[in-house]
Structure 1
Amino acid sequence: MPRCYTNSFLLKGRYCETGRVYLLTTVTDQRRPVFEDFQLGRLLVAQFKQAHDDGIVASKAWVVMPDHFHWLVELNNKSLGELMCRIKSRSSVSVNNASQSCSRLWQKGYHERALRREDDLKATARYLVQNPIRAGLTTRIGDYPLWDACWM
Structure 2
Amino acid sequence: MPSPRLLKGRWSQSRNVYAITTITHRRQRFFDDADLAALAVATLQRLQQEGRCINLAWVVMPDHIHWLMQLRGGTLAASVQIMKSRCSRLSGTDGPLWQRGYYDHAVRCDESLRSQALYIAANPVRAGLAEQLGEYPFAWCRWFDRAP
- TM-score scaled to structure 1, two decimals? 0.89
Amino acid paired to 1:48: L
Q: Which residue of 1 aligns with 2:122?
A: 130
The number of equivalent residue pairs is 143
Q: Equivalent residue for 1:142?
A: 134
Gaps of 5+ in 1: none
**Residues 87-141 of structure 1: CA distance to partner in whole angstroms, max 9, x if unpaired?**
0000001111xxxx33210000000000001111001101111111111111112
The one-letter code of the counterpart of 1:92 is S
Q: Name structure 2 gaps, 5 residues minimum.
A: none
Which 4+ runs in 1 deviate beyond 3 A? Answer: 8-11
Q: Is the 8 A contact 1:9 1:110 kept in 2?
A: no
1:118 aligned to 82, 85, 110, which one? 110
Structure 2 equivalent of residue 77 of structure 1: 73
Q: Aligned with 1:141: secondary structure?
A: coil
Root mean square deviation of aligned Cα: 1.5
Cα distance in 2 for partners of 1:135, 1:49 equals 24
For residues 75 and 45 of structure 1, what CA distance do their matches in structure 2 show? 17
The answer on whether the counterparts of 2:18 and 2:70 sit within 8 Å (CA) in structure 1 is yes
1:61 aligned to 2:57?
yes
SS where residue 44 of structure 1 aligns?
helix
Aligned equivalents of 2:9 and 2:85: distance in 1? 26
* Aligned-partner SS, 1:49: helix
